[in-house]
Structure 1
Amino acid sequence: MKLGVFMVLLNNMGFEEALDYVAEKGVKMVELGSGGNPGNVHCKPDELLADEGKLRAFKQAIDSRGLTISALSCHGNPLHPQKAIAKESHEDFIKSVQLAQKLDVAVVNTFSGCPGDSDDAKYPNWPVAPWPNDFQDLMKWQWEEKVIPYWTENGKFAADHNVKVGLELHGGFSVHTPGTLLRLREAAGEVIGANLDPSHMWWQGIDPVQAIKILGKNNAIHHFHAKDTLVDTDNVNMHGVTDMQDYTKMQDRAWQFRTVGFGHDNKTWADIISTLRLVGYDYVVSIEHEDGLMSVNEGFTKAVHNLKQVLIEEELGEMWWV
C-alpha cells in the first residue's frame, strides 16, 4: 500500500507548490479533484483534454516529484432531479473518465447520486426507513428507474476507457453502505466498487473492519480514504446518528470528522490497514482532511505521522516460518 492525499485540502496553493508540499511529507500518491464538490483547482479536464502540451506538462510535474495519481475525483449528484445539476455532474464524470484514461489513472471517484421522488421533483429524496410503505415504493422506483440504469450505462463507459468507478459510501446518496454498493455492483458490473472511507462507516454504526471484509471478499474496494470520526455518545442520544446540525456546531453534534488517530486509536487503524492487506487490497490510503479542530497543515501532518506507523508498504514475502 502507498500513502496518498486528497489534494483538495491544498486548494489555496498553486499546483506545483502543493505537489512539493506533499512530496516533502513523504506522500507517494495524489488524488486530484476534477470537478463536482471537490472542484478542479489543480486539475482542469477541459484544458488538459484540449491541449496535449498542457497534458504532458501536467503529468511531468507529478512524475518529476516521484508521485503517482491514485484517482481523479468529481463527487457530485448525476441523478439530481434538477436537470441542470444532474447534467453538470454527469459531464464532470465523463470528462474525468476521459482524462483518467489519458493519464493512465485507474480510478475515478464520485458519489452514486440520489434522485428525487419523481421526475417532477426539485430536490433529492433519501429514504432511511421502510415504513410508511411510501418509502419502500420510492426507493424501488429510484433504484429501478434511475440508479441502476444510470450506472449500468456509465459504468460501461468507464470500463470501455479502462477506468474503475470508486463510489464513496456517503449518507444522503443511494449508495451509502456495503450492502447498497454490492447491490449496484451486481446490477451494473465489477467496474463499480467502493472508494471506502471509514469515517462514513463509523457514524452510520458500521464497523469499518467488517465493511472491508464484506467488500474485500467481492474485490469491491477500488480506492480508500483515510479520515476519522469521533462519536459523542451523549449527543447521539439527543440527535441520533443522522444529526442534521451544521458541521460547525462541534460541541453539540452527535459526531464529527477528525484527523486519523483523533477519533480512534492507532490499534484500530492498524486493524483497518491489516484487514485491507488480508483481503488483497494493495493500492492507496488517501488522507482526507476535514477536521474542524486542526489547521490543514497540522491535521495533515499528524495523519501522515499516525498512518506511517501502521501502513504496510512492502511486498508480502513467503511465510518462511511455515
Structure 2
Amino acid sequence: MGAEKPQFWYGILFTFSIAVFSFGIAQLPGFTYVGPLATAIILAFIYRQIFGYPDRLRSGIQFSAKILLRAAIILYGLKLNIDTVFSEGLPLLMKSAIVIALAILLSYTLAKIFKADMTLSMLLGVGTGVCGAAAIAAVAPIIKAKDEDTAVSVGIIALLGTVFSIAYLIVRPYLPIDDVAYGVWSGLSLHELAHVALAAEPAGEESLAFALLAKLSRVFLLVPLCFVFIWYMRRKQSRTGEAKVAFPYFLIGFIVMSLLNSYVLGDIVSLSEGFMTFISHLTTVLLTMAMIALGLNINMRDMAGRASRPFGIILLVSILLSITVYIIK
C-alpha cells in the first residue's frame, strides 16, 4: 500500500512533465498552429508505441485521465458568459443549434452508410459541432467511449481544426464577405475555440469579437446536448438491458462556473482579469495532462483500421458544415 502512493504521484508528475514538454514544443515554428493538446497526444502516442504503457504509474495516469479531465471541463465553464450569449448572441443560438444537429446527424448517417465505427464517429461529430476536446470529453463517458477513442477523436479534431483555420485565412481575401460575417462564419463552423481565434484574429477586433460570440453560443448548447445523449442512452439501455448510464455530475460544475463567470466575476474587474488568465492557463494544463493520459491508451494496430473511415467521414462533414454555414451566416 505504501508503494502505491508514490507511484500515484509519479503518474501525475509523468503526465505533467510531458504536458510542460508539449507546451515547449507547441511554441516552435509550425507547431504553433497545432497547439499543446494535439502535440501532447502525439507525444503520448509515440511514447506508447516505443516504450509501451507505463503500468507502474497507472493509478496516477488514470487520475489524470478521469479526475483532472472533469476538473478541466468544470473550469472550462468560466470561458462561457451566459449573459453575453443571451443579450447579444440569441440570433446565433438558432444557427448554432442547426450546426450541432447537422454535424451529429451527418456523422451518424454517414457512419451507418459506410459502416464506420459509430462511437468514434459520434465523438467526432460532437467535437466538430460544439467545441472540440471539451465537448468530446463531456460526451465520452455518457456514450461509454473508451479512453483511446476519446484521445483519437481529440487528435483528429485538433488536426482538422488547424487545417481548416489555415484554409479560412487563405481563402478569406478571395471571398465576397465582410469582416463581421467572416467572424460569424469562423465562430459557427470551426472546431476549437483556439481555431476560431486563429482564423478570425487577423480580420480585426470586430471580426474576432463576433467569432468568439458565435463560438460561445455553441459552447452554451453543450449542456442541453449532453442531456439529449443521456436521454438517448437511457432509452437504449431500457430496451437492451445494458448497464445504467451514470449522470455526469461534472456538468453541474460546468454550469456553476458559467453562472459565476457571467454574474459574479464580471462585476469584479480587478479580480477577474488576473484570475481569469490564471484559470485559463490552469484549464489548458489540466486538459493537456488528461489528453496525455488518454493518448497513452492508443494502440496503433488496434486503432488504424477503426479510425480511417471516421476520419474520412468527419473531413466530409467539416467541409459540408463550412459550406452550409457560409450560406446561412
The structure that is strand-richer by fraction is: 1
Q: TM-score if structure 2 supplies the norm length? A: 0.26
For CA contacts below 8 A with separation 6 or more, give which structure has more relative contact order. 2
Choose between structure 1 and 2: higher helix proportion. 2
User: TM-score, structure 1 length as denominator?
Assistant: 0.27
